Structure 1
Amino acid sequence: MLGCLLAADGTAQAAVSESVFLDEMPVVLSVSRLSQPINEAPAAVTVIDRDMIRASGFRDIPDLLRLVPGFSVAYTRDNTWAVGYHGLADAFSRRFQVLVDGRSIYSPHFGAVLWSDLPVAIEDIERIEVVRGPNAAMYGSNAFLAVINIITQSAAQAAGGLVSVQYGEQGMAGLLARYGGGDADRRWRVTLSTQDRDRFEDTGPDGSGNPVELRERTHTYFLSGRTDWQIDPRNDMSLQWGVSQGDWRGGRVGEASEPARRESGAAFVHLQFHRIPTPGREWRGQIYYTRNHYDADALGTIPGWPLPVRVDDHLVQTRLNLDIQSIQRLRDGLRAVWGVEWRRETVESPQNYFNQGTLDGELARLHGNLEWRVTNAWLVQGGAMVEHHYYTGTDISPRLAVNYTPLAGQTLRANISRAYRSPTFFEQDGNLVYTDTGNNAVNVVTIPAGSLLKPERLLSREVGYVGQFKPLGLEVNAKLFYDTLYDYLGSQKLNTAQCNEPGAKKCFQSVNGSSLNLRGWETELHWRPLPHLDVSAHYARVRIDYEAIVLDVTSTIIDDDLPDSAPRNTFGLLARYGWDAGWQASAGIYQTDSITWLSDGDKTTGYTRVDARLARRFKWQGYGAELALVAQSIGNTYSEFRQENLFGPKVYASLALDW
């Protein structure tokens, strides 16, 4: 909600003070909406800071999640990213709450996270906090498996000018220009970016070994800005805005039903305020509006059908959100945060919602969280979210966590929580119908769910450990988890009679399925054995137990491959070493077992990917400069999401100047 938070790095975040991030334990702001050392947070959380972002060499935000235990990442070729946490990975990332400075970015249409449309530059990101587990008690529906909070730099942090150019193999190119200025009371920055990508080999083999020629080159550009006002010592405001435009290629060559070109666009405006009326008490509020649109057109033919068939993938979706939050120190050792939120969402797509016009819905939320330091060793936190959703009515998501620190730097944590995910517009009312040029229904792909779907519900149990070993320069963050998901939202395949639509040979319909269990463990290590050497490593082991249910003799739920949607083992490592004269070298290793991507993905084999980066910072003509060379997937080609999506070795160089 609000600012969503403390975490929403506005001028207000400066009030948290930069020194807070230099404490012995990293401080996080997203888990409970209270600033806390990582060992006092009520759930497991990973912090990706600016140094890690730079050292990774990644230029796309979803790739950064490869640095987090339990995450699976792939580009789908259809201008979307598939991201999963502990499995359930599909092309839509429907079970995450993703925030940018407190602004929710998931799509009300598919529930997808619109990664490719984000008007956020890698260079503008200050840090990313990833809550590894459900957090519906603080963020409501969609904070189901994880919360990803992207915190951008304040205008003061981005003062001066920056120009960055990237160029590399296989169509990789980028240009960013940023400038920030102002005075002590008002700071501003503006960022302009243009990015080209062509991620996969031009031709790859499909599941049968046949060659498939791909179109997936993209060109995306955006303009964004931010202004921060310090009105007086107790009040400040922040205004952010952005627009983006994409010209994207997609589909397979020779497939008339897959549009060769898609245009996309996004715009947002986001206003936040922060007030500290008295010491120990503060208010935060925000209002934002977002709009996304897509257009993709094609004409195809069906044997025996007299007229051409249209693909008219036009989509417009909007969100208007208002929320307010209060944080209070009730007495020594007792803090509370509470807030309210209202949201209205709309979606309009003639092809995806046949003859339904514009769909809209409103939701309202009330949340609260209490932090009680019982003794120096014991910390108890409890909270809940009450949400009224336009499809599922009223739901309550509670959480209780206990942190025990018997020795300095050694903390055990236990928590239990409930979360839910309400159905999206498309899951409940989606009616994907292809028509011919005479507006006759030719093929019905999906029909509405009919009766109201139930929300997915998750019961999560977690035991965690956070340890710090100063003599070794080592930090450990580990957890055991056992989650049970009820009323899984999947699809069933219907026959012609059940579709009850003209032109339907078969169709699909969203339906609540049975329950499944997710269990396993994960750990991450941060090790600094030498002053100039940093090593971050993580490992996760996951198992999903699920049995597909038979709905009747003619209809079965199709997601019977859920147990394979989580790789059994994943591993990642990022090592950074810096030495004199501004040199830095880094290497990343990312390993995963085989995975079956849900929706229209394939089963892809496991792989080990090795990336490397060599960079030097220096002074040139009065400018600060950095020259870097990045090699990705060194010596290995592997499949992402679909078997024909071959990601092979590639190299790019970058040059940045700042003043």
Structure 2
Amino acid sequence: MARSLKRKVVLKAAVAAVTAAMPLLSGSAESAPGADLFALGLEELMQVEVTTVARQPEHWFDTPAAVYVITSEEIRRSGATTIPEVLRLAPGVQVVRMDANKWAISARGLNGRFARYMLVMIDGRSVYHPLYSGVMWELQDLMLEDIERIEVIRGPGGTLWGANAVNGIVNIVTKSAEETQGGLAGITAGTEERINLRTRYGGRIDSNTFYRVYAKGFERDLAPVGGDEGHDDWRMGRGGFRMDWTGGEADRFMMRGDYYRGLLGQSVTSPDPAFWPFPVTREDAEDARVSGGDLLFRWTRTPDITQEFQLQTFIDHRHREESTLEMEVNTFDLDVQHQLRVSPRRERIWGFGYRLVDDDLDESFSYRFDEESRTTQLFSGFIQEQYELRPDALTLSLGTKLEHNDYTGFEWQPGARLAWTPTDRDTWWASVTRAVRTPARVEHDWTLRQVWNGVPLVIRGNSDYGTEDLVAWELGYRTRPHENVMLDIATFYFDYDEMQSLQLVDTGPPAVLDIDNRVRGESYGFETSARWDVCDRWTLDASYSFIEMHLHPEEGSNDPFTENFENDVPQNMAHLLSTVDLTERLAWDAWLRYTGNINNYAGYDIDPYLTMDTGLRWQVNDRLNLAVVGRNLLEPAHREYASSLILNSESTEVERSVYVRATWTF
């Protein structure tokens, strides 16, 4: 492809420097993995700070939202090897593995390949794909050891974060460079996770400046399809850095960057151009080539105890090449916010942002766009006032976000949240918010040719496609009824309008469907999670979630698919995680998960499944940790995903597997 940005060259050079420097580095070791497995007791858990709900730190226990924090200790003990697998820990979040390198992840329903109603961020940098609308999880592959926590918000957050934070938000927060001093090297090998090599080193330049560099590479095995091998192996290499430094007493700075390159195996069924519009297809087993990088900079200034100013900017480059489409997408983003304590019982946070997205596309017979390249802009501003109605007991937050995008113009997303803490062991909260999902480019000027269940189809974008709306009502309660027990309950009612539909405009052949906004719907349900510290060495974490969804095409709509989307999410999900310290150096963990059945829009049933992971971890000495982990042990294989109308790639099964892992700090 012709166009490329200079920052791509800079990112490559940075990674090359990181890789070259690794053998030369030496230093002190960080805390050994497993040394403080139960560092967070219930008292400390109540005080864990989250920043995603209010764009400023607040204690998890007092937060007026359905938020779950996955800590670094939980990540380590879960046995997960990827971020999507880690997210199974969060109640109410549906994680579907489509094949060995693709996932569909959403909170409170409306899941799919890109799950366009979820906003996902890494250190506040949005990874929402501006072309497709949603997240390509196969590209979000950090070193799990570098993650401090993952904040998972079920429910909308558009008041502060803007469009597409509709059903939920995931914010992955990485550790500072100061927290990761010394070296780390790890290797994982097994039946599915063939090989995973990673290394990291953290050092200091002076008393105020810290850095870390990392590199990792892995290869994942093929997954089966009905007893045969699929073509979904996954090979990826990644490197990057982070620096944290201070300038005097008032200023803090952070800069981090990543570069990745890999191959994603997939089997794609597409129409044969020689026979179109007859339903003749060809199957291609191919390796999609992906590469990209990002660079983020943040400056935080705290001139006094009453205010804080923050400026954050990032650039992001993505390139993907496959048989149906080659694309290059470049993003520049600037975000500024100011927090001010107006009075002892009133706080204000406000800010503004700008985003520019530039894409360049090479099309195929299956995928076509009205323009080969396009540049879009987003302007935004927000304000939120927080009032302490009763000191340390009753807090009210009111705010809104205003945005202007090139597809639908101005959008506003107001919200109100109330938190009541009658005692230091109880928190009640309630909220009402409006959130929107704005169109992506594929919904405006895209044409897809596809053969679906033997029927040739043409799906066309719509330049008049508008915003999808949600008004959400939520109520929650957190309590610590006993010194060793914590309970969290959240309920919700979602009212959707102007949702996406496919209108049949020509029966063909081929049949022609136009993307439109002619569906409304509602969903309701609840999530509950509990933690019980049975004794000093044994902890149980459990969760259960229920959802009911109903979708209704508007009068005159002839959408043949959308009503069935209400069955595309399991009504019931549950998990139980047991973590036991057998001795001071030996730990045993077991994770049991249940997912109810799914009946997607194509009529393909996914049966309910119960699965279990378990692992044994041995802290050999202060520097070496060994682990053996078995995953999905209750059956040889199970399917979690059926098929996709838009992206007709073959889904595979999740196999029973085992791996061993060694981690050495130095």
Fold-level similarity (TM above 0.5) = yes
Q: Indicate yes or no: 2:636 matched with 1:653.
A: no
2:329 equivalent in structure 1: 317
Distance 1:70 1:23 in 2: 20
**Out of 557, 561, 582, which is 1:558 matched to?**
561
Q: In the alignment, is the contact (CA less than 8 A) between 2:369 and 2:445 conserved in 1?
A: no
1:449 match: secondary structure: coil
2:295 equivalent in structure 1: 269
1:185 equivalent in structure 2: 208
User: What letter is aligned with 1:456?
Assistant: E
2:580 equivalent in structure 1: 577
Q: Indicate yes or no: 2:152 matched with 1:130.
A: yes
Aligned-residue Cα RMSD (Å) equals 2.3
Q: How does 1:234-245 map to 2 (within 5 A)?
A: 234-245=250-261
1:465 equivalent in structure 2: 477
2:267 match: secondary structure: coil
Q: CA deviation at 1:494?
A: 4.1
Distance 1:353 1:21 in 2: 56
Q: Indicate yes or no: 2:108 matched with 1:86.
A: yes
Q: In the alignment, is the contact (CA less than 8 A) between 2:42 and 2:486 conserved in 1?
A: no
1:560 match: secondary structure: helix
Q: CA deviation at 1:493?
A: 4.1
**Out of 398, 403, 424, which is 1:387 matched to?**
403
**Out of 333, 340, 347, which is 1:328 matched to?**
340
Q: Indicate yes or no: 2:319 matched with 1:293.
A: yes
1:595 equivalent in structure 2: 598
**Out of 280, 284, 295, which is 1:258 matched to?**
284
Q: How does 1:470-481 map to 2 (within 5 A)?
A: 470-471=482-483, 473-481=484-492
Distance 1:334 1:111 in 2: 37
Q: In the alignment, is the contact (CA less than 8 A) between 1:67 and 1:573 conserved in 2?
A: no
**Out of 457, 460, 467, which is 1:447 matched to?**
460
2:523 equivalent in structure 1: 518
2:563 match: secondary structure: coil
User: What letter is aligned with 1:279?
Assistant: I
Distance 1:317 1:459 in 2: 32
1:243 match: secondary structure: strand
Distance 1:578 1:23 in 2: 19
Q: CA deviation at 1:257?
A: 4.0
Q: Encode CA deviations 1:99-124: one digit per residue, 9 max, x unaligned.
A: 10010001001112121112522111
Distance 1:91 1:597 in 2: 13
2:473 match: secondary structure: strand
2:179 match: secondary structure: coil
Q: Encode CA deviations 1:29-79: one digit per residue, 9 max, x unaligned.
A: 110112112232221100000111011100110111211111111222384
- The unaligned stretches of length 5 or more in structure 2 are 1-39, 271-280, 451-455, 644-650
Q: In the alignment, is the contact (CA less than 8 A) between 1:259 and 1:296 conserved in 2?
A: no
2:611 equivalent in structure 1: 609
User: What letter is aligned with 1:60?
Assistant: T
Q: In the alignment, is the contact (CA less than 8 A) between 1:449 and 1:510 conserved in 2?
A: yes
Q: How does 1:395-544 map to 2 (within 5 A)?
A: 395-432=411-448, 445-450=458-463, 452-471=464-483, 473-495=484-506, 505-544=510-549
Distance 1:137 1:475 in 2: 29
Q: In the alignment, is the contact (CA less than 8 A) between 1:550 and 1:557 conserved in 2?
A: no
User: What letter is aligned with 1:200?
Assistant: A
Distance 1:546 1:444 in 2: 23
1:223 equivalent in structure 2: 239
Q: Encode CA deviations 1:243-280: one digit per residue, 9 max, x unaligned.
A: 10111211069974435111011211111101111222
Q: Encode CA deviations 1:305-355: one digit per residue, 9 max, x unaligned.
A: xxxxxxx42011121100111111122222221110000112232323435
1:215 match: secondary structure: coil
2:369 equivalent in structure 1: 354
Distance 2:471 2:145 in 1: 37
1:372 equivalent in structure 2: 387
Q: Indicate yes or no: 2:130 matched with 1:108.
A: yes
Q: Indicate yes or no: 2:296 matched with 1:283.
A: no
Q: Encode CA deviations 1:106-157: one digit per residue, 9 max, x unaligned.
A: 1001112121112522111110001111000010011111010000011111
Q: How many residues align?
A: 599
User: What letter is aligned with 1:335?
Assistant: E
Distance 1:261 1:268 in 2: 23
Distance 1:84 1:514 in 2: 19
Q: CA deviation at 1:546?
A: 1.7
Q: CA deviation at 1:24?
A: 4.1
Q: In the alignment, is the contact (CA less than 8 A) between 1:370 and 1:382 conserved in 2?
A: yes
User: What letter is aligned with 2:408?
Assistant: T
Distance 2:607 2:45 in 1: 42
Identity %: 24
Distance 1:23 1:55, change over 3 A: closer
Distance 1:49 1:545 in 2: 34
User: What letter is aligned with 1:609?
Assistant: T
Q: Indicate yes or no: 2:571 matched with 1:568.
A: yes
Q: CA deviation at 1:568?
A: 1.1
Distance 1:420 1:601 in 2: 29
Distance 2:458 2:85 in 1: 32
TM-score of the aligned structures, taking structure 2 as reference length: 0.86
**Out of 35, 49, 54, which is 2:76 matched to?**
54
Q: Encode CA deviations 1:532-582: one digit per residue, 9 max, x unaligned.
A: 222211111100012345646xx5252221220221111012111113241
Task: Return structure 1 stretches of 4+ with deviation > 6 angstroms.
Answer: 18-21, 252-255
2:447 match: secondary structure: coil
Distance 1:216 1:31 in 2: 36
1:118 equivalent in structure 2: 140
User: What letter is aligned with 1:361?
Assistant: T
Q: Encode CA deviations 1:274-294: one digit per residue, 9 max, x unaligned.
A: 111122211111110101111
**Out of 78, 86, 90, which is 1:64 matched to?**
86
Distance 1:75 1:83 in 2: 9
Q: In the alignment, is the contact (CA less than 8 A) between 1:40 and 1:379 conserved in 2?
A: no
Q: CA deviation at 1:21?
A: 9.5
1:432 match: secondary structure: strand
1:13 equivalent in structure 2: none
1:108 match: secondary structure: coil
Distance 1:389 1:259, change over 3 A: farther
Q: Encode CA deviations 1:142-199: one digit per residue, 9 max, x unaligned.
A: 1111010000011111111000100000353200010110132111111101121126
Distance 2:42 2:407 in 1: 41
Q: Encode CA deviations 1:186-231: one digit per residue, 9 max, x unaligned.
A: 1111110112112622x31xxxxxx765100010110111111212
Q: In the alignment, is the contact (CA less than 8 A) between 1:492 and 1:558 conserved in 2?
A: no
Q: CA deviation at 1:597?
A: 4.8
Distance 1:191 1:574 in 2: 30
Distance 1:347 1:20 in 2: 47
User: What letter is aligned with 1:56?
Assistant: S
Distance 1:28 1:541 in 2: 25
1:251 match: secondary structure: strand
- The unaligned stretches of length 5 or more in structure 1 are 1-17, 205-210, 298-311, 435-442, 498-503
TM-score of the aligned structures, taking structure 1 as reference length: 0.87
User: What letter is aligned with 1:184?
Assistant: S
